[in-house]
Amino acid sequence: QVQLQESGPGLVKPSGTLSLTCAVSGGSISSTNWWNWVRQPPGKGLEWIGEIFHSGSANYNSSLKSRVTISIDKSKNQFSLRLTSMIAADTAVYYCVKKGGGGSPFDSWGQGTLVTVSS
Amino acid sequence: DIQMTQAPSSLSASVGDRVTITCRASQTIYNYLNWYQQKPGRAPKVLIYGASSLQSGVPSRFTGSASGTDFTLTISSLQPEDFATYYCQQSYTTPFTFGPGTILDIK
């Protein structure tokens, strides 16, 4: 059973950059899975941010594409999210999520980490 | 982007009730439709994938069905632990998109 754990700062200043890392345990990040980030503003719905495969191939939500980068570190079995030019609307719980190939669902989720954008 | 809508946005029901939540996609997604349950302070959990396949470990009172771009989640007999928010999500193409959610609470 793959487990995921997010880590990173809980507070980011406006115009700053968010960096989060997701540690994967119980399985290899080099498997045939896609590694995703999903976020949820307080009291609101879910938004897919993007995904990466172990090859480094990545897909991003066009709404964030100019600000987001997802990277992977196979040696550490982890992947990361970088989101630049943070604004208050980026305040959310950020989840790292595993998804199988093709049309698979998001089947394993981290516990989530709340990131607040505030000065 | 594919837009997902859900109805109702909220629903009050009693233990033992049969409830149905609907989801509609703005274009064909074939059966690449998944249902999630989320409880306060917790990550979502997949219940149904591929429109009608039950995720391992999920009780059989949860069923999913599809008709074109319309999808339904049915809970046959509500249990106390089923009161939560439910989201549909399309996994047909990126950007993957979620419905706005249906809050199921106790009547």
Q: Which of A35, A49, A48 is nearest to A100 (CA)?
A: A35
A47 CB near a chain B CB, below 8 Å? Answer: yes
Compare CB distances from A105 to B34, B94, B97 and report the shortest one's residue. Answer: B34
pLDDT above 70 covers what percent of chain B? 100
Mean of all residue pLDDT scores within chain A: 96
Which of the residues A106, A108, A109, A111 would you substitute to probe the B interface, choosing the one with the greatest number of B C-beta atoms within 10 Å?
A106
- The answer on pLDDT for A65 being more than 90 is no
- To the nearest whole Å, the CA of B35 is away from the closest chain A CA by 9
A61 CB near a chain B CB, below 8 Å? Answer: yes
For B45-92, how does the pLDDT look when each residue is reduced to its tens digit (9 = 90+)? Answer: 999 999 999 999 999 999 999 999 999 999 999 999 999 999 999 999
Find the closest chain A residue to B44 by CA distance.
A109
- The answer on pLDDT for A61 being more than 90 is yes
Report the pLDDT averaged over residues A86-113: 96
Compare CB distances from A106 to B46, B92, B100 and report the shortest one's residue. Answer: B46
- The answer on pLDDT for B30 being more than 90 is yes
Bridge partners (DSSP) listed for residue A92: A115
Which element (helix H / strand E) includes A25?
Answer: strand A18-25
DSSP A88: G
- The answer on pLDDT for A113 being more than 90 is yes
Distance CA A20, CA A43 (A): 21
For B73-82, how does the pLDDT look when each residue is reduced to its tens digit (9 = 90+)? Answer: 999 999 999 9
Phi, psi of A52, deg, nearest 5: -145, 145
pLDDT above 90 covers what percent of chain B? 98
Distance CA B78, CA B71 (A): 19
pLDDT above 90 covers what percent of chain A? 96
